Structures are given as structure tokens and as C-alpha cells.
């Protein structure tokens, strides 16, 4: 799967030029994540179920990923949330979409979800709408971005991950959730 760099990247391209190496993924900015996500929550994968759906030319395998919702940050995911993704394995047959993130039971994530049930991968910016929760060496819970880099500042999202990720300490899960909640409330208050 190939993605565009998007409007926001254009000034960056002009400023720095695109060398033959300038091909890293530019994920959605934090603003875009917050605006586009209809549901945001912290949760743990408790089950995966794949099945055939559709008929004729749309006969396909989808996988329902079930989460135990630990903390709802935007929208109302309930106590368990089921996300439908295109692709999966039934018996010995597998269907996959390039670049679809892979989940397994026990995964602990913060998820930014849009168009669940109608979009082939209902995560904002595909893998960039998923933040893996991991413990650092001191036992503190931190986050990894879609590229597998530590998240140190939400402002790093949208294209400058690589440089900023190494410049600061990783953001804690609690701090990240506070920022998300604050931004969600702020957006809600601005809505007429």
C-alpha cells in the first residue's frame, strides 16, 4: 500500500527537497488523528475471529478484533469494542491487504478509530492510528508509534518522528491520555 504525503507535507518538501532517501512514512498529524477519529480508547486485545463475508466479487475474509476497553478517551466504545478489519485466515486460506496492522491476543494499544464496519482498515492513517503500549526499563508505560518509534511528543506526529523521537524522553501512557482527553474536550467545547 502506498500513501501520499498529503497537503501538510508539501511545504516540507519545498523546504528540504526530496532526495532519493526522503521516503519515510509521514503519518497523520495529532490534529488529524483527533479530528478524524470517532472513537479513541486504550484497550487490550482479548479475541480475534475471522470469517468469510460477502458474495460474488466481494467474497472476502474479515477479522473482528475484540478489545477489553480499559479507558475511553473519545466517543463511547463501551466496555468491549469490536473492530472489523479486511483480511484474515479461515482454515488454511489467508487474505491480506498490504500494510494492514496485525493484532494478537494480549496486545495493549491506544487506538484512533474511524468508519468501523465500512472502511477496510478502520484506523486513522492505518497503522498510524495505533499506538502500542509498552513498559520501559523502569516499568513505566510508554507508547510506540506506527513506525515502531517511541512517542515523546504528540507534535512529532505528522512527519518529524525520526528526529524528535530521539530528542526527548518517551511520553508516558498517562500523559498521552491526558493530552488526548484535553484535546477531545476542547474540540467538544468548540462544537456549536
Partner 1 sequence: MNHNRSVCRYLLRLAFFACGAILLAVELYGYALEGKSWPKGTVITMQMEMGAAGRTLQDGSTNWDDAAVPAIYEWNANMLNVRINPVMNSSKPVASDDGINSASFSDTVFGEKFSSGVLAVTYYLSQSGQMTEADVLFNKAALFDSYRGDLQFNSQGQCVCDVQRVFLHELGHALGLAHPDDHGQTVNAIMNSVVSNLYQLQPDDLAGIHSLYGAPATTPTPTPSPSPPPPNRLVNLSTRMQVGVGDNVLIGGFIIQGDQPKKIILRAIGPSLAQGGIAGVLQDPKLELHDAAGALLQSNDNWQSSPDVQDIIDSSLAPSDPHESAILTRLAPGNYTAIVLGVNNTTGIGLIESYTLDTNATHAANISTRGRVGAGDDALIGGFIVGGHTSKTILVRALGPSLGNSGVDNVLGDPLVEMYDANGQLFASNDNWQTGGQADQITATGIPPSDPREAALIATVPGGDFTAVVRGADAGEGLGLVEIYDLDQ
Closer by beta carbon to partner 1, 70 or else 82: 82
Residue 18: CB minimum distance to partner 1, A: 5
Residue 103: CB minimum distance to partner 1, A: 15
Residue 50: CB minimum distance to partner 1, A: 13
Residue 178: CB minimum distance to partner 1, A: 27
Residue 171 DSSP SS3: coil
Closer by beta carbon to partner 1, 43 or else 101: 101
Residue 151: CB minimum distance to partner 1, A: 15
The C-alpha atoms of residue 71 and residue 55 are separated, in whole angstroms, by 37
The C-alpha atoms of residue 172 and residue 178 are separated, in whole angstroms, by 10
Closer by beta carbon to partner 1, 63 or else 177: 63
Cβ atoms of residues 27 and 128 within 8 Å: yes
Q: Which residue has the cell 478509530?
A: 113
Closer by beta carbon to partner 1, 6 or else 181: 6
Closer by beta carbon to partner 1, 19 or else 188: 19
C-alpha cell at 187: 474540540
Residue 154: CB minimum distance to partner 1, A: 19
Closer by beta carbon to partner 1, 48 or else 95: 95
DSSP calls for 13-71: HHHH---TT-----PPPHHHHHHH-SEEEEEEEEEEEEEEE--GGG-EEEEEEEEEEEE
Residue 115 DSSP SS3: coil
Q: Which residue has the cell 482454515?
A: 91
Q: Which residues pair with residue 151 across a beta bridge?
A: none
Residues in contact with partner 1 by CB under 8 A are 1-7, 10-11, 13, 18-26, 28, 36, 54, 56-60, 86, 92-99, 114-115, 118-121, 123-127, 146-148, 162
Strand-strand pairing, 60-74 and 130-135:
unpaired
Amino acid at each position: 500500500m502506498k500513501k501520499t504525503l498529503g497537503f501538510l507535507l508539501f511545504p516540507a518538501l519545498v523546504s528540504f527537497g526530496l532526495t532519493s532517501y526522503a521516503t519515510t512514512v509521514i503519518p497523520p498529524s495529532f490534529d488529524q488523528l483527533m479530528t478524524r477519529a470517532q472513537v479513541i480508547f486504550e484497550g487490550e486485545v482479548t479475541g480475534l475471529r475471522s470469517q468469510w463475508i460477502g458474495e460474488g466479487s466481494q467474497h472476502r475474509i474479515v477479522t473482528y478484533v475484540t478489545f477489553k476497553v480499559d479507558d475511553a478517551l473519545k466517543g463511547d466504545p463501551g466496555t468491549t469494542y469490536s473492530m472489523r478489519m479486511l483480511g484474515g485466515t479461515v482454515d488454511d486460506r489467508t487474505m491480506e491487504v498490504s500494510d494492514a496492522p496485525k493484532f494478537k491476543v494480549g496486545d495493549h494499544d491506544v487506538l484512533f478509530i474511524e468508519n468501523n464496519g465500512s472502511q477496510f482498515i478502520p484506523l486513522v492513517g492505518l497503522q498510524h492510528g495505533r499506538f502500542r503500549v509498552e513498559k520501559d526499563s523502569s516499568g513505566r508505560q510508554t507508547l510506540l508509534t506506527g513506525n515502531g518509534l517511541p512517542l515523546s511528543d504528540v507534535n512529532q506526529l505528522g512527519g518529524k518522528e525520526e528526529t524528535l523521537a530521539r530528542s526527548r524522553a518517551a511520553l508516558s501512557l498517562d500523559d498521552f491520555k491526558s493530552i488526548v482527553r484535553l484535546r477531545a474536550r476542547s474540540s467538544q467545547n468548540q462544537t456549536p
